[in-house]
């Protein structure tokens, strides 16, 4: 194998694949990147066996071939190379040399045969989705997944594909984020997929917003493909809990607040809130939301914010961190909050959002100690 | 173990009158796990289980997370449940958060605090819990009832002789008993599990157990012991080493009882003395129920002399060493030699007499 590539292209390809390389592994070849020559250049691939990323970049190929090269060292070398074409050549199955300007490197790789094969997925039957729509769903929901290993289903994002819309839902049992966007009918059957958030993060990062992606399902894997890049991920098996059942439909108290002002007030209260529970009290009545926090051995704080509130007055406790996290993803200047009772779930939605997407977050309150 | 505590625990599940806090402790992890499973199934609505059930380990949860879990109301359900396993390993600040909650527990959250292994009961948690329940290992007298109950739970019934055979074969190992019962329930397909089912599935018949082999050796019945040996070695979880271990326990116990007898302890006290020895030893491998073992050993005291017992123990040690050496060609052959030698010791005594 022998090819020449620009330093920038090499760096770009390595950056795309590097995130799929495990930091620690008991299988040495997984710490390597597979480099293969193609008709148009070279293909770089990496995997941690849960997620696999493969990307094609242009290069001048003199002799075809394939080898695996230690990913971390190759990335470090690429970062430090001078601005000149990089000549890569392999000799035998395990040795590779890199020459750039007057710099010369010799690396010990591993044979291509040791690299695991990617999941077999047929893209002939695939959903077609615009990457930007997918990125919007991912960035507004994936933050809410559970990191608790005892409930693996909640470690994934539910992705519901329907003929006319797609929806993503994530929850950790204390907060939930749900977004749906309309899509053009693809003629493909409906599907419910539970996808690890790490894979979705790769999708969000790797594919430009205006690109159309082909998405296809294998036996227990999902593949995303654009003309140059492909991502494969293991799916989480099992039925996702019936999230609709926990979304309140009868919340009868509504508060509409300025998102930035609400965020600021919550941040101020967080300073005095307990480091453990971040518990704050919010008291709503006509036209006003009062915030208060009292932490033994530290002190107390109060604040007020003008809101548009309808319904009976309400005192409710929240983990301020959960509220602040959700507010980060509300795409409008104002946020609409709904409540029923101090021990019932509250919802947060964008107010006056002109986007065709629908977005709702749910947050569980905390009991007020007094 | 307090039977009253356990009754109160299971009554609360049956009546669905849950205490806000349960403290589940004791040495039998299997029974504790089973009890918590039953509690979870009764407390949490299956439809919202993923949102209203939190199971954490004490050493893995920080104070903030624990406080949040305890202070979150149920999500579209009547109740929520928090299970803290290995509660003794909670870090100091997490324990403080738990103590604060226990002072004023919530009515719509059920908390189960579970100890691991042989952790000593925490008096403070015992008194703070609405229901504190201890699950220590079941004694011989309770295992047969437990087997019957488990069979019922599996949707079947089991005959008295089948219970005895299963108990004799598997002993008091509840997870192993449950696994065998599970297989037996599938095999019986709705019929009562009888002795023939145990013979077919567990692979043991009445009169062919390890206990029977131990009795044959103790009774110096070489022909019977040799006849039993291959059947016993075919049984699950039985091999030459476990048979040697059971024989060694038996001979040591008889030797110990012989010494007591020689010092003038009346035979009438021997059963209790031997039972006390077993309790003290804790994990001695008897190869059968404690009750059966102690009865047999008591019977053997008058049949074996001290020199014979010393020689028997030497033979057992030699066999044990031989079994652990890889050059031995046949474990069964080594055991057969041992059994014949042990029975022969007794014959020599008979001949001498």
Q: Does A153 touch chain B (CB under 8 A)?
A: yes
pTM attached to this predicted model: 0.75
Q: What is the mean pLDDT of residues A291-301?
A: 90
| Residues A365, A342 contacting (CB under 8 angstroms) | yes
Bridging pattern class, strands B109-114 and B80-85:
parallel
Report how far residue A146's alpha carbon sits from residue A133's, in angstroms, rounded to the nearest whole number.
23
pLDDT confidence of residue B231: 85
Report how far residue A356's alpha carbon sits from residue A344's, in angstroms, rounded to the nearest whole number.
29
Token pair belonging to A263: 């965020």
Q: What is the mean pLDDT of residues A32-46?
A: 94
Count CA atoms within 13 Å of residue B120 on its CB side: 3
pLDDT confidence of residue B282: 67
pLDDT tens-digit series, residues B61-96: 999 889 999 999 998 888 999 999 999 999 999 999
Which chain A residues contact residue B55 at CB under 8 A?
Answer: 150
Strand order in the sheet with A308-310: A191-195, A157-161, A165-171, A175-182, A358-363, A346-350, A334-339, A253-258, A308-310
Report phi then psi at A42, rounded to 5.
-130, 155
* % of chain A at pLDDT higher than 90: 82
Report how far residue A218's alpha carbon sits from residue A195's, in angstroms, rounded to the nearest whole number.
13
Report how far residue A45's alpha carbon sits from residue A230's, in angstroms, rounded to the nearest whole number.
9
Q: How far is A126 from chain B (nearest CA, A)?
A: 31
- Prediction ipTM score: 0.75
Which of A151, A277, A364 is closest, CB to CB, to B64?
A277
Partner-chain contact A248 B76, CB within 8 Å: yes
Q: Does A278 touch chain B (CB under 8 A)?
A: yes
Give the lowest-confidence range in A182-196, A245-259, B29-43, B81-95: A182-196
| Residues A335, A348 contacting (CB under 8 angstroms) | yes
Instruction: Enumerate residues 6+ apart whose C-beta is below 8 A from B62.
Output: A276, B91, B93, B94
Token pair belonging to B35: 């009890």
Q: Does A341 touch chain B (CB under 8 A)?
A: no
Which of A174, A245, A365 is closest, CB to CB, to B47?
A245
Q: Is 50 exceeded by the pLDDT of residue B316?
A: yes
Partner-chain contact B71 A276, CB within 8 Å: no
Q: What is the DSSP letter of A318?
A: E
Report how far residue A129's alpha carbon sits from residue A182's, in angstroms, rounded to the nearest whole number.
11
Instruction: Enumerate residues 6+ apart whose C-beta is below 8 A from A174.
Output: A319, A322, A363, A364, B68, B72
Least Cα distance to A239 among B82, B40, B49, B37 occurs for B49
Token pair belonging to A211: 């690109």
Q: Does A193 touch chain B (CB under 8 A)?
A: no
pLDDT tens-digit series, residues A138-166: 999 999 999 888 788 999 999 999 988 99
Q: Is 90 exceeded by the pLDDT of residue A286?
A: no
User: In the beta sheet, which residues pair with residue A91?
Assistant: A95
Instruction: Enumerate residues 6+ apart whose C-beta is below 8 A from A320.
Output: A266, A267, A269, A270, A273, A278, A279, A280
Report how far residue A197's alpha carbon sits from residue A97's, in angstroms, rounded to the nearest whole number.
36
Q: DSSP E strands: which ranges in A251-345?
A: 253-258, 279-285, 288-295, 299-306, 308-310, 314-319, 334-339
| Residues A63, A52 contacting (CB under 8 angstroms) | no
Q: Is 90 exceeded by the pLDDT of residue A284?
A: yes
Q: Does A279 touch chain B (CB under 8 A)?
A: yes
pLDDT tens-digit series, residues A200-236: 999 999 999 999 999 999 889 999 999 999 999 999 9
Chain A, chain B: beta-carbon pairs less than 8 Å apart: 64
Partner-chain contact A278 B76, CB within 8 Å: no
Catalogue all structural domains in chain A, each as residue range(s) with its CATH number: 2-114 (3.10.150.10), 128-244 (3.10.150.10), 247-363 (3.10.150.10)
Which of A151, A248, A277 is closest, CB to CB, to B67?
A277
Report how far residue A253's alpha carbon sits from residue A195's, in angstroms, rounded to the nearest whole number.
35
* % of chain B at pLDDT higher than 70: 95
Q: Is 50 exceeded by the pLDDT of residue B343?
A: yes
Q: Which residue has the higher pLDDT, B137 or A131?
A: A131
pLDDT tens-digit series, residues A85-113: 999 999 888 899 999 999 999 999 999 99
């Amino acid at each position: 194998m022998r090819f020449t590539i620009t330093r920038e292209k090499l760096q770009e390809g390595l950056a795309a694949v590097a995130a799929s390389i495990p930091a620690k592994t008991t299988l040495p070849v997984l710490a390597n990147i597979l480099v293969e020559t193609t008709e148009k250049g070279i293909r770089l691939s990496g995997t941690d066996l849960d997620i696999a990323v493969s990307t094609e970049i242009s290069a001048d190929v003199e002799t075809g071939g394939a080898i695996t090269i230690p990913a971390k060292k190759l990335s470090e070398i690429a970062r430090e190379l001078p601005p000149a074409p990089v000549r890569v050549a392999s000799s035998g199955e395990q040795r590779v040399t890199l020459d750039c300007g007057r710099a010369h490197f010799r690396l010990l790789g591993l044979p291509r045969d040791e690299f695991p094969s990617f999941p077999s997925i047929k893209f002939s039957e695939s959903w077609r989705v615009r990457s930007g729509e997918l990125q919007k769903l991912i960035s507004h929901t994936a933050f809410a997944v559970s990191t608790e290993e005892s409930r693996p289903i909640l470690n994934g994002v539910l992705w519901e594909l329907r003929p006319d819309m797609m929806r993503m839902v994530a929850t950790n049992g204390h907060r939930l984020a749900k977004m749906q966007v309309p899509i053009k009918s693809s003629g493909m059957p409906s599907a419910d997929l539970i996808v690890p958030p790490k894979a979705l993060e790769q999708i969000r990062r790797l594919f430009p917003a205006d690109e159309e992606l082909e998405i296809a399902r294998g036996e227990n894997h999902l593949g995303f493909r654009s003309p140059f890049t492909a991502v494969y991920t293991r799916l989480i098996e099992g039925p996702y809990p019936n999230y609709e059942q926990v979304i309140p439909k009868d919340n009868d108290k509504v508060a509409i607040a300025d998102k930035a002002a609400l965020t600021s007030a919550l941040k101020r209260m967080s300073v005095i809130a307990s480091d453990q529970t971040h518990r704050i009290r919010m008291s709503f009545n006509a036209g006003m939301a009062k915030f208060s926090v009292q932490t033994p051995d530290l002190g107390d704080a109060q604040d007020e914010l003008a809101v548009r509130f309808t319904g009976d007055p309400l005192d409710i406790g929240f983990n301020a961190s959960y509220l602040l996290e959700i507010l980060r993803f509300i795409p409008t200047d104002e946020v609409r909050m709904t409540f029923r009772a101090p021990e019932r779930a509250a919802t947060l939605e964008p107010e006056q959002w002109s986007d065709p997407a629908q977005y709702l977050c749910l947050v569980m309150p905390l009991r007020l100690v007094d | 173990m307090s039977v009253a505590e356990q009754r109160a625990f299971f009554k609360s599940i049956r009546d669905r009158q849950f205490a806000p806090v349960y403290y589940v402790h004791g040495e039998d992890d299997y029974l504790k796990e089973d009890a918590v499973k039953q509690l979870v199934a009764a407390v949490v609505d299956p439809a919202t289980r993923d949102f209203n059930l939190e199971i954490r380990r004490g050493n893995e949860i920080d104070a903030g997370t624990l406080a949040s879990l305890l202070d979150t109301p149920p999500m579209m359900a009547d109740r929520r449940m928090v299970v803290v396993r290995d509660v003794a390993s909670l870090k100091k600040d997490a324990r403080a958060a738990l103590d604060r909650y226990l002072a004023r527990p919530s009515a719509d959250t059920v908390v189960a605090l579970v100890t691991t292994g042989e952790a000593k009961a925490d008096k403070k948690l015992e008194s703070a819990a609405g229901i504190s329940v201890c699950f220590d290992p079941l004694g011989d007298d309770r295992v047969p009832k437990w087997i019957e109950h488990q069979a019922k739970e599996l949707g079947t019934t089991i005959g008295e002789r089948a219970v005895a055979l299963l108990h004799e074969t598997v002993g008091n190992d509840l997870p192993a008993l449950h696994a065998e019962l599970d297989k037996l329930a599938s095999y019986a397909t709705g019929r009562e599990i009888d002795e023939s089912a145990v013979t077919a599935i567990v692979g043991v018949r009445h009169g062919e157990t390890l206990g029977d082999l131990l009795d044959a050796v103790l009774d110096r019945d070489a022909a019977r012991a040799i006849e039993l040996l291959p059947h016993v070695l075919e049984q699950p979880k039985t091999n030459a080493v476990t048979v040697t271990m059971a024989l060694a326990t038996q001979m040591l116990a008889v030797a110990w009882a012989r010494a007591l007898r020689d010092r003038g302890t009346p035979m009438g006290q021997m059963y209790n003395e031997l039972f006390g020895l077993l309790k003290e030893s804790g994990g001695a491998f008897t190869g059968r129920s404690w009750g059966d073992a102690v009865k047999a050993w008591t019977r053997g005291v008058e049949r074996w002399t001290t020199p014979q017992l010393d020689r028997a123990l030497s033979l057992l040690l030699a066999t044990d060493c031989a079994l652990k050496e890889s050059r031995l060609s046949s474990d069964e052959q080594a055991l057969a030699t041992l059994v014949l030698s042990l029975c022969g010791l007794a014959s020599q005594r008979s001949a001498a007499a």
